[in-house]
A and B are shown apart, each in its own frame.
Chain A
């Protein structure tokens, strides 16, 4: 029941937000709704065992509304539920034209994301996969930057092609199931020939790789992150990319273990190319948003490489990193948004001296930046350490190549810190003031999460342990 509420609450709140009266405070309404969802998610996380919900839907198609919350699903719904209040708090003082629609669409995308993480029926999963996409498309196109229409359309078409290919895969698998059903268990039980398995693997792979994105399917991402309103970018990079990672672990790896093992080398090499390539580009960026976007590709690349190592340590690392990266990158975006809103520029070359003008913000920026570099004591270190550990056991040379990206990450992140907060103030940064209370609140919570899970990650590992064990039992 609680799993259903996790989806229904943002869905109904989102629809209600549209019909709120003009002038009433949609943002407060959205914040309250997202906090209600957070409470539900916390209840779900602290309820031991697997939660589920099941009701008939499309009987003659063999599809049911089946929701299931195992450790990974709980962890990701917690991430979703934590992120939205943080985002809403941080952007509380921003003004959006047609506010009701903006917050309504944001909440609808939250409902879609929750559904993706909780669905245990392939067709239902597909529905939510799209439901998460459509509101984000409208958010980016309506409130985005100058080139928004073309850029978000590219993003939409990319993901739509991917999901259609996945639909073919779903249908094919459906007709192979013994009981003609879309349920996850039936899909797991399907026995395919090696050739079929390979074909299906790639159909699903493309869909999820576009979403993550894995090199070479990443070209939509930097533009889309840059042009979207920052609140939406936070959703996209903090949570939506985790849809891809999640889908790999929930669908591809258990369904096509042999094909995944055979393709592992190729995927890992692609991921490592993507990591290094994105890091090198990130170094050259002057725009803060673009830099974060490329750094995000590099981090995701490590996760996709680790997933395919077929190594328990690495998968544990991926689990932790999904949560950590989501929280950390939202922190970085909040600061980028703050700088842009306050100073009217995102170019690092035009910034400088913020340490004198905005000391609190500078401290928090440094915390986020160190988490981005995965320094020990931050949450990202745990995840990356475990993933590199697994990768190292898989292949030493690949691990070494991937390791270069750590150095590069330090280069571009610290470079950004240096340019933004040190040096002398200039005409742009003279007018800077320190951060408003609501942003400070969001950032402090994120900084606490970074430090707490950096020192004490065991709760997260315990939470997702059952999913990882189940994954390795199946193989």
Chain B
């Protein structure tokens, strides 16, 4: 509960900060302090030391896993602001408003990690999405940013409609909004008909489509490249990591409880979505010229891997999605922070970065190796857990083989950046880079390697 309440309050606080001061660094500092407060409040809550109790009539349910996930997301936001706060300041004079919106997004993610019924799921998704529509269009004078925002808003609104329709159908079938009573009223197996009634199946499928849209899984991924490309890079970084991870959490929570209603169809459906997502993300990423766009497609590809947690639906999958979130957020936030310092977003724009900015190139390499899932980086164990969970669940070997073949494809486009930085000559233009920023990056890289050698650091914390 702490996370929801404090993120909302701190969001309002951030909004008012803009009235009292015009100094952008002060606003960023306030945001950092506010994030630390939010993080410690959530930690106090998850350790059971201090928590605000409100009777939610069973609409919200706070468990350890949800609160741990909150910690991860708030922590990732903190790292994001520490590394890229100056980029937010550069966007316009409305710095305080941007931070306020980020806090509102965090409020949405906190609801998504604790929802216990369809209504709260819906509220969480909406509270999360609406600030994002604004953030996407925050580069007002850039046509691409406007286009992205409008596109995101229209498609998002449409998906919201589909989602509501699904919830309505489930309500019609069961007479309730609860997460666990989706299956009530299902036909008993003895009736000869498979599990669920028509309304339940239709409702679940509509919800499935809507959630696929939110986590940009194929074939509902078409908005992702345009929106990620059009949005200001600093918010792309935020959207691709924290927001997406929260979406995944909700997706898994919703369907791990109810997927059995769909019977064997569920596995077929999900296998199709996973393979399609891996295919669409990886193959299209190969052909991109702009690194930012490549990252958009690669985030689709990563979503394909994360879906394995849903596929296996066991404890390894749960641990895996935690680790995946950590690995993916660290690497993506780090790489985006570097990307924003480089003027030219094409692959050629990175040519020779290793000779002009060795620290940036080194950290970027660690991030890319982690995204590609090379051992000794956090990304390896993230992928490892995903594959292991599927094999443990007795899933077919072919889908694992397909996944690793696509992981090998992903090496192609991630390494293209490394090749540009290290093996090609050039004079990339970069904006001013402070030594503090470099230190921050190095700490991040050390973190990626540390998790890559001892993943239990993250996981033990989960089981504290």
Residues of A within 8 A of B (CB): 57-61, 126-127, 130-131, 134, 138, 141-142, 148-149, 153, 156-157, 160-161, 164-165, 167-168, 171-172, 174-175, 199
Contact = CB atoms under 8 A, between A and B. Distances in A.
Given A60-B456, A60-B459, A130-B376, A167 B423 contact: no
Given A126-B375, A127-B376, A141-B422, A164 B408 contact: yes
Given A141-B419, A157-B412, A175-B391, A167 B384 contact: yes
B34 interface: no
B423 A156 contact: no
Given A58-B456, A142-B422, A165-B401, 20 more contacts: A57-B454, A58-B454, A59-B456, A60-B456, A126-B375, A130-B375, A134-B369, A134-B374, A141-B423, A142-B423, A149-B419, A156-B411, A160-B408, A161-B404, A161-B408, A165-B404, A167-B384, A167-B404, A168-B387, A168-B404
A352 to B, nearest CB: 36
Contacts, number: 67
B455 interface: yes
A443 B444 CA distance: 46
Contact of A130 (B374, B405, B407, B459): B374
B410 to A, nearest CB: 10
Given A148-B423, A165-B401, A168-B391, A131 B376 contact: yes
Nearest to A165: B404
Contacts of B422: 138, 141-142
A164 B375 contact: no
A126 B387 CA distance: 15
B275 to A, nearest CB: 16
B376 A172 contact: no
Interface string B387-409: 11001100001001100110110
A168 B456 contact: no
Interface of B: 369, 374-376, 384, 387-388, 391-392, 397, 400-401, 404-405, 407-408, 411-412, 415, 419, 422-424, 454-456, 459
Contacts of A148: 423
A82 to B, nearest CB: 27
A52 to B, nearest CB: 21
A165 to B, nearest CB: 7
A199 B228 CA distance: 41
A126 B384 CA distance: 12
A263 B252 CA distance: 43
Contacts of B459: 60
B68 to A, nearest CB: 16
A172 B408 contact: no
A145 to B, nearest CB: 12
B423 A175 contact: no
Contacts of A165: 401, 404
Contacts of B391: 168, 171-172, 175
A251 to B, nearest CB: 17
A199 B396 CA distance: 12
A160 B375 CA distance: 11
Contacts of B404: 161, 164-165, 167-168
Nearest to A169: B397
B438 to A, nearest CB: 16
B442 to A, nearest CB: 13
A175 B316 CA distance: 12
Contacts of A138: 422
A128 to B, nearest CB: 9
Nearest to A144: B423
Nearest to B394: A175
18 contacts: A58-B456, A59-B456, A126-B375, A127-B375, A131-B375, A131-B376, A141-B419, A141-B423, A142-B422, A148-B423, A153-B419, A160-B411, A161-B405, A164-B405, A168-B391, A168-B400, A168-B401, A171-B384
A172 B397 contact: yes
A149 B374 contact: no
B359 to A, nearest CB: 13
A209 B423 CA distance: 29
Given A58-B456, A60-B459, A142-B422, A168 B415 contact: no
A173 to B, nearest CB: 10
B367 to A, nearest CB: 15
Q: Lowest 8 A-B CB distances belong to which pairs?
A: A164-B404, A130-B375, A161-B408, A127-B375, A171-B391, A141-B423, A171-B388, A149-B423
A174 to B, nearest CB: 8
A143 B211 CA distance: 48
A191 to B, nearest CB: 17
A59 B454 CA distance: 10
Nearest to B460: A60
Most chain A Cβ neighbours within 10 Å, of B404, B412, B455: B404
Nearest to A174: B388
A152 B455 CA distance: 30
A276 to B, nearest CB: 31
A6 B333 CA distance: 37
A157 B411 contact: yes
B57 to A, nearest CB: 37
